[in-house]
Amino acid sequence: MEDPDDFELWNGQRGLWLQHQMDESRADANLPNWYHLHEAVDLDALRRAVGFLTDRHQALRLSFRDTPDGPRQRVLPYHELDVPLVDLSAAADPDAELERRIRVENATAFEELATPPVRFKVFRLSQDHHCLYLNVHHIVMDGTSMGIYLRELLLSYRAFAAGEEPATAPLTSDYAAFVRSRSRWLSSERSKAMEAYWLEQLAGPLPRLRIGDHDAPTDDVVNETLEFGVEAATAAALAALATELRVTPHILLLSAYAVALRDIGGDDDLVVCVPFSGRDSAEVEGMLGTFVNPLSVRIRAAGTDAFADVVRRTKAVSIGAYAHSRYPFTLLLEKLDTEARPGRNPVFSTSFQFADFLPPARQTSQLDLCLFGKPDGDGMRLRLNYNSRRLSKSEAEEVRSTFLAVLGQVAADPAVVLDALAEPLALARRSARTTSVGRRRLGALSSARPGTPNT
């Protein structure tokens, strides 16, 4: 008989549970964050703040177990999170020692999930310099939740240190109620309509990103990053173009990224993952948990298309994806006719996001390429995260250079036809090569383009 306190895992939690069961030593699912306070810290007030948030948010008290009916989670009525103080002030180089400790903490997996997978430490570098370190398993929190936690932690700490109560807004619901309501929603007609939409959008055969060594072993993921930017003049021209085409900067840059990948790999059909927060109702506002749902944006383009045509098509499919964003991606995977690729996502190999923040520089991803961007003053700041088991640094640099070349070309002429970009983009790649890629070259797996896109 099923325990009434247990409830199902929701969406991404299912895959994270399976990953944990298959290999408990991996720390890929860790979501660490740390914050420096250049001041003396009232440790008692900080511990009260941590306890206050643990009581306030059910996600910080989640316990997971396997049952005859599959994995289940429950909210523990009470959980005391230890907040140890680690004094590094006597170290020869406290900053270097902190960096070493953080690397170790980041790489330390949560061995079991029966206890809420949350760790908190306070590192003291000097009397007036502390680092607050939090690490959670992704099964209980996502990136948006991390931001909420940090804001509420500082607010609560300041209040307790001043002898006051935290002025946090009351939550209108809780995580268990959210998951149970969404599980019931899956049997609704709206859910079935969304399922039909995605099955049509992702009807096979699905395209394969033809960049780097697609057939490299999948049992090891090593992520590296390239940091780069867009200068103010180009950023201003792109902003004006986005306004002219009536799209967001995200849609414009996603279109440029798709054009760059098309030129490199030679495919007129591409699926890009666009992370979605999953916070689509007021009930989850301010709540901690795992809500994120990856959206599959399928972009088709042909050499005869103008860049503005690609932008309009990308806008249309993106609007459709967001309108159907509630349907769980993990459930969709069970219904798609896809090629099984252990260690690889069967739908997409790359992701794109342009938002107000960048994720951690060494964020672990199973995907080959992840491009993130954010506004940065008058310009833009971008980060390319790539799996160095499948792409060399030189290949990643060519992706970066091709993307930047597309931005420069379309900022000058949004009516440019994609076929006309081939020569300047090839030149950009040649000029970017700093090391040999060996016998393989970008796009070496590409075949003849299948034809014109569906419009």
Note down pLDDT in tens along the chain; length 455 residues: 567 789 999 998 988 898 888 775 477 788 899 999 999 999 999 999 999 999 999 999 999 999 988 999 999 999 999 999 999 999 999 999 999 999 999 989 898 899 999 999 999 999 999 999 999 999 999 988 998 999 999 999 999 999 999 999 999 999 999 999 999 999 999 999 999 999 999 998 888 888 877 666 655 667 788 999 999 999 999 999 999 999 999 999 999 999 999 999 888 999 999 989 888 888 898 999 999 899 999 999 999 999 999 999 999 999 999 999 999 999 998 898 777 666 678 899 899 999 887 776 655 567 889 999 999 999 999 999 988 878 888 899 999 999 999 999 999 998 999 999 999 999 998 887 665 544 444 554 433 333 333 33
pLDDT (0 to 100) of residue 157: 97
Please tell me the predicted confidence (pLDDT) of residue 322.
Answer: 95
Contact 391, 211 (CB under 8 A): yes
Query: Among candidates 373, 260, 274, which has minimal Cα distance to 317?
Result: 274
State the sign of the Cα–Cα–Cα–Cα dihedral 51, 54, 60, 61: positive
How much is the pLDDT for 454?
Answer: 37
Say what the pLDDT of residue 211 is.
Answer: 81
Q: What is the DSSP string of 203-233?
A: PSSPP---SS-TTS-SS---EEEEEEEE-HH
Question: Tell me, what's the pLDDT at 391?
Answer: 85
- d(C-alpha 214, C-alpha 210), whole Å: 7
Strand bridging mode 118-126 / 85-87: parallel
pLDDT of residue 437: 47
- The answer to whether the CB of 275 falls within 8 A of the CB of 428 is no
> What is the Cα–Cα distance from 22 to 315, expressed in whole angstroms?
39
Q: Are 282 and 172 in contact, with CB atoms under 8 Å apart?
A: yes
Tell me: cis bond preceding 205? Omega within 30 of 0 counts.
yes
Residue ranges matching CATH 3.30.559.10 in the chain: 7-178
Question: Rounded to an integer, what distance in angstroms lies between the CA atom of residue 223 and that of residue 44?
Answer: 38
| Burial label, 306 (beta-carbon count in 10 A; 0-12, 13-18, 19+) | middle
User: CA angle at residue 454 from 251 to 202, to 5 degrees?
Assistant: 75
Answer whether 129's CB lies under 8 Å from 276's CB: no
Phi/psi class of residue 286: alpha, beta or left (left: φ > 0; alpha: ψ in -120 to 50)? left
Assess contact for 442 and 429: CB atoms under 8 A: yes
**Which pLDDT score, from 0 to 100, does residue 90 have?**
95
Determine phi and psi for 69, rounding to 5 degrees: -95, 10
The answer to whether 228 and 357 have CB atoms below 8 angstroms apart is no
- Third-level CATH fold of 188-432: Chloramphenicol Acetyltransferase (3.30.559)
Distance of CA 310 to the CA centre of its chain: 24
- Alpha carbon distance 367, 306 (integer Å): 29
Calpha distance 232→271 (Å, rounded): 30
* Whole-number pLDDT of residue 340: 64
Cα 144 from Cα 59, distance rounded (Å): 13
pLDDT at 362: 58
Give SS3 for 87: strand
pLDDT value of residue 345: 81
CATH of domain 7-178: 3.30.559.10
| Residues 260 and 395 sit within 8 Å (Cβ to Cβ) | no
| Cα–Cα distance, 50 to 55 (Å, whole number) | 9
Q: How far apart are CA 290 and CA 120, in angstroms?
A: 19
Side-chain half-sphere of 411: how many Cα atoms within 13 Å?
Answer: 19
Tell me which amino acid residue 132 is. L
- pLDDT recorded at residue 18: 85
Q: What is the location of CATH 3.30.559.30 in the chain?
A: 188-432
